Amino acid sequence: MRLAIEASRVSVVVFVSFLLIGTVTPIQALSQSGQPPSSTTVQSVIDRAEENFLRGEEASAKGLPDIARRMFDSALDTVLQSGIDLKTNPKLDAYYRSLLERIHKHEALPGDVHDAADRPDVAEPSVLDEVSAIKEDELALTTADGVKIFGHYDFEFSVAPPVFQFINFFVAGRGHSTMEVGLERSGRYRQMVEKIFKEEKVPLDLMWLAQAESVWKPNALSRAAAKGIWQFIPSTGSRYGLAQTTWIDDRSQPEKSTRAAARYLRWLHDHFAGDWLLAMAAYNSGENRVDSAIARCGYADFWELYKRGLLPQETRNYVPCILSIIVISKNQKRYGFDVKADSPLNYETVELSGQTDLKVVADLIGVPYESVQDLNAELRRGTSPAGERYTIKIPKGMKKQFDVAYAALPEEQRVRRITVPAEDVAERYRSSYRVQVASYQVRRGDTLASVARRSGVSVKELAKLNRMSARGELRKGQTVKVPKTVRASRGRHGHVSRYREEPVARSKHRGAPARVKSSRSHQAGTPRGHSSRRHRR
């Protein structure tokens, strides 16, 4: 999924055909000649692809996303249809990978921030980033000798040497721990996935795509902005009804994203005339790219496309990786795994009448914040959407307690502020609360390095927090943000010296709302600090 670009573009076929009409004959001649391409030929392919990419960037900058996507597709197709084997041409292979990465940067929707520092939920690395980095020479070290395929499966597929190699990679190679983690976490969602896949008429064995995609982690976020258990990129997520707003990202909602994945897989299966291997390849790289590879090859067969090097390396790894996971997962003990799967998530739902902080929810029912956050991974900022009712999940057995406590809680105390008074951090607030921010006024001699060192963060992190270059200079009197975990000294009158705290609204059961007003100490020649802003989570 992480390579897929929005697929329903009927006009692309005509457009791309027009762009490539002058190159069809040379491409065929090149592939049939058997001669390695010259450096001039490779550079010509790169130049044509780059020209299309730049046109796509220009269209994107002008707010023309559909045209931009068509040009990006044309750039990729220029490389894929060149007839040059990427495996044997490092220059073109490196360019193609670079091209993919640059195109993926344009996949994020407006306002769809993928920086974990800008939202409370934690984004975890996607396992596909690891899979895509596996080189053929590493797989070549794990031979197929002695490896057998056991079990019966609910869809037909043929097995080639890469499948045996991936089985060994997970059984005896560095993929062993990843497999164990996935088998363990799968227990949380398997019952739910099986139910939805049955309803959507998708083979149950294909649930193990989730292990290859994310190791069953709702917060998995790839370098290409693909997110969730099923690793939807923003555009394909929107295509299948997964909302992505300031407050929520349904790609991390297990039930909704599973339904979307099942429907997309079923559509791909029908598109490729019932071939599940091609459907899996297209799930990873997009149906247009697989269609182009088939047109170039002349055979609608994944292993033939694999052999001819017509698919991206990640997709070449993806399908045999999934097949190996399916084989192992259905025959765990035969392959040396003895993993106890996690219990299914046990929860009930409650409706929130207005915007509510998950930290408040956790305190009302007396459970750790993480246990509520994990059940509601789609809430990007740790709070339900503003201005609407929203249904959340809470641990089973807590509904009655929550309803009573929530009804008694004043509306203005349902949403907390981002920061809390310094004296409350250690005693009243759990460590699960987000890292707080204070304002600091720069003194003579201060540098990014010295402030970062006192704040306990790196120069890069401090610069990022203040949206400035890590090589930037600080000016005396300049106000910068620093993590509030630093110890701010207090003056004679109880004011925080050099650091200003931001006000906070507390829940009723935490005590009366408190506001902390503090400024820099009145020292000779030192200007008074300005009142700081208040931020809502």
| DSSP-assigned beta bridge partners for residue 262 | none
Q: Is 213 a known active-site residue?
A: yes
**Whole-angstrom Cα distance, residue 525 to residue 444?**
12
State how far the alpha carbon of 260 is from the alpha carbons of 108, 285, 336, 421, in Å. 18, 17, 34, 43
**Whole-angstrom Cα distance, residue 497 to residue 499?**
6
**Whole-angstrom Cα distance, residue 169 to residue 172?**
6
Would you list the DSSP string of 24-39?
HHHHHHHHHH-PPPPH
Q: Are 523 and 500 in contact (CB under 8 A)?
A: no
How many other CB atoms are found less than 10 A from the CB of residue 60?
Answer: 17
Six-digit token string for 409:
């809680």
Would you list the DSSP string of 126-160?
-HHHHHHT--HHHHHTS--TT----S--SS-----
How many other CB atoms are found less than 10 A from the CB of residue 511?
Answer: 10
Identify the active-site residue in 107, 213, 287, 378.
213
State how far the alpha carbon of 31 is from the alpha carbons of 81, 301, 308, 423, 462, in Å. 10, 19, 11, 72, 53
State how far the alpha carbon of 230 is from the alpha carbons of 118, 215, 253, 373, in Å. 23, 10, 10, 19
How many other CB atoms are found less than 10 A from the CB of residue 91?
Answer: 15
- Would you name the residues annotated as active-site residues? 213
